[in-house]
Chains A and B, each alone.
Chain A
Amino acid sequence: MSHPERLGSPGGESVGTIAEPPHVNESLSDYAARYGLRQSAARPPLRKYLQQVWARRNFIWAFASAKNISMYTDSRLGQLWQLLTPLLNAAVYYLIFGLLLNTSRGIKDFIPFLVTGVFLFGFTQRSVTSGAKSVGDNLSLIRALHFPRATLPLAIAVVELQQLLLSLVVLFAIIMAWGEPITFNMVLFIPVVALQLMFNVGISMVMARLGAFNRDITQLLPFIMRTWLYMSGVIFSLPVMMKPGSKLDRYPVIARLLEANPAHVYVELSRNMLLGEYRESMREQVALHKATTMPMSQLWLYAIVWAVVMLVGGFMFFYRAEERYGRG
């Protein structure tokens, strides 16, 4: 193979070489190694890679802002869509699930409940879908300049965070309009979003690598995401569905799995932090059915574990293919 055993710096000789060599018959790869040249497109060591990513933090921010700006350049309403899209989404779900199908039974303040769910699920959903495209959509940049590729999915996560912050303005307006009092619990909403952001960064890195080498993923994603949406209690309350005697109650394994799924964890935590009425009703339910309902402490634990595992795992997963992005 092309890897020489000798990895000396210029002039440095390994033990056992005879005198100062004239380097006759030395192979080109040995010659390259003697001058400290490396295979082009090798992956830097993890530490150095992290430093490089950190050094590009300004790039990540600037790239995210630029993306946000260019996203709506062709539409007349422009940036207004950042507010209109979440509003319209909430309106559609309210029309179908609140008015037509009446899934709201048992939930007080269904509108704030629904809007919180839709917005926060959308945060993760968009991180996944645009994460999958983050490498493929920027091939010309990847091929032109050299920079750690992990900055691309990171920038995507920042774009989605910026979008979320705008939707949160809408969200708070709706919550306030429903007469929700401002409580200390609302401050705890900030760490929830932070944990969800960590999770999103991780998952968008996983998707970025998958999407970079397999474009079929982007065709499949809408279906996967819709399934995930319905399984995470975004437009209905999972705990309510799991009341004793219900179908899910008879299959506790499935119920536990649904509860542990990260989208449900973050959505449910956010609702508990933001909506006083909902918090009360959940508290009652926990007290009533200890065995079947997940207490808050467990939700927090899940939220932290998911965030850390996904962030670290996703970063490593993305990093291990670093030298292959943009090839071909």
Chain B
Amino acid sequence: MAVADTRPRKALDAVELDPRREPIVVVDDLHIVYRVYGAGGKGNAASAFSRVLRRKHRPTMTEVHAIKGLSFVAYRGEAVGIIGTNGSGKSTLLKAIAGLLPPHRGGVYTDGQPSLLGVNAALMKDLTGERNIVLGCLAMGMSPAETRAKYKEIVDFAGLKEGFIQYPMRTYSSGMGARLRFAIAAAKTHDVLLIDEALATGDAKFKVKSKRRIEELRKEAGAVFLVAHQLDVVKETCDRVIWIDEGRMHMDGDPEEVIAAYVETTGK
């Protein structure tokens, strides 16, 4: 794939558009501010009562400005890696693309409905893996026949140990849960698939398989976003890397270059 036409570029000015390719995700001057509740306050009834009387918001509600004006365009068939230190806004960005966080300012435009794969491993933790597969497929809009057809494929892909498919998902290790969850979500072609560290807990064998599956999903004309801390995974799976720092674009371009720059800055 001929990708590196106008890149690497440091996205300081306006986003350069590639007229020859079809965009699938457009992030336009996105600002995300979210509220964090809980933790703090005295935590007793009297203080809660005085809070209600004084018409104050819930205890220690803090506003976090997580994304501060981010703009970029992702095209069909791209696998975009997103890197950055902890708390730089990577997961927030994915949630915003998935439509789970409302933009404070600016906007996110997508073609079709993005699907987000997160770290919390179970879909329905009290149900067996088997039922989770069936329910997951049906929820994504497959027919019972399609679900049956895909079932075997999903089980094989998740590569669970013998018998585990019959156990409730709460008994799964985090790696097993993440694998099954990824397998379910990947059974369907998504326009935009957002993967948030969901592959981090998988073993080496699973990484190879998931990389192949991401390739396939890309070929089916969607786009894949991957947040990962393991830079080798990003380098192998992605053909473009965005480096976010403090909620702002730091660098956007060829994986090799961006990762090299990232390692140099953070490695010291």
A contacts, CB < 8 Å to B: 2, 10, 23, 27-29, 31-33, 35-42, 52, 55-56, 58-59, 62-63, 66, 69-70, 73, 138, 140-141, 143-147, 151, 323-324, 326-328
| Alpha-carbon distance between A39 and B136 when the two chains are bound, in angstroms | 25
| Alpha-carbon distance between A151 and B140 when the two chains are bound, in angstroms | 12
B115 at the interface (CB under 8 A from A): yes
B113 at the interface (CB under 8 A from A): yes
Closest-CB distance, A267 to chain B (whole angstroms): 32
| Alpha-carbon distance between A140 and B123 when the two chains are bound, in angstroms | 6
Q: Are B23 and A39 in contact (CB under 8 A)?
A: no
Contacts of B138 in A (CB 8 A): 56, 58-59, 62-63
Contacts of A33 in B (CB 8 A): 109
Given A40-B99, A52-B141, A35-B107 contact (CB < 8 Å): no
Contacts of A39 in B (CB 8 A): 99, 107-109
| Alpha-carbon distance between A29 and B49 when the two chains are bound, in angstroms | 45
Q: Which 4 A-B pairs have the closest CB atoms?
A: A41-B99, A32-B109, A59-B138, A28-B28
Q: Are B135 and A144 in contact (CB under 8 A)?
A: no
Number of A-B contacts (CB under 8 A): 133
B contacts, CB < 8 Å to A: 15, 17, 19, 22-29, 34-35, 71, 73, 96-102, 106-111, 113-118, 120, 122-127, 131, 134-136, 138-141, 143-144, 168, 181, 185
Please tell me which one of the listed residues A42, A58, A66, A143 contacts residue B127 in the complex, with CB atoms under 8 A apart: A66
Contacts of B126 in A (CB 8 A): 70, 73
| Alpha-carbon distance between A146 and B141 when the two chains are bound, in angstroms | 9
Q: Are B24 and A37 in contact (CB under 8 A)?
A: yes
Q: Are B26 and A145 in contact (CB under 8 A)?
A: no
Closest-CB distance, B166 to chain A (whole angstroms): 13
Q: Are B23 and A40 in contact (CB under 8 A)?
A: no
Contacts of A42 in B (CB 8 A): 99
Q: Are B107 and A2 in contact (CB under 8 A)?
A: yes
Seed contacts A58-B138, A70-B168; 6 additional CB < 8 Å A-B pairs: A10-B22, A35-B22, A35-B111, A38-B111, A39-B107, A140-B122
Closest-CB distance, B221 to chain A (whole angstroms): 13
Residue of B nearest to A70 (CB): B126
Cβ contacts A to B, 14 pairs, < 8 Å:
A27-B28, A32-B23, A36-B111, A37-B24, A37-B25, A41-B102, A58-B138, A63-B135, A70-B127, A143-B116, A145-B115, A147-B141, A326-B100, A328-B35
| Alpha-carbon distance between A144 and B123 when the two chains are bound, in angstroms | 7
Given A66-B135, A143-B100, A145-B185, A37-B23 contact (CB < 8 Å): yes
Closest-CB distance, B96 to chain A (whole angstroms): 8
Closest-CB distance, B73 to chain A (whole angstroms): 7
Closest-CB distance, A212 to chain B (whole angstroms): 14
| Alpha-carbon distance between A69 and B124 when the two chains are bound, in angstroms | 13
Contacts of A59 in B (CB 8 A): 135, 138-139
Please tell me which one of the listed residues B106, B116, B124 contacts residue A2 in the complex, with CB atoms under 8 A apart: B106
Interface-central residue, A42, A145, A326, by most chain B CB under 10 Å: A145
Q: Are A38 and B139 in contact (CB under 8 A)?
A: no
| Alpha-carbon distance between A138 and B27 when the two chains are bound, in angstroms | 28
Q: Are B124 and A145 in contact (CB under 8 A)?
A: no
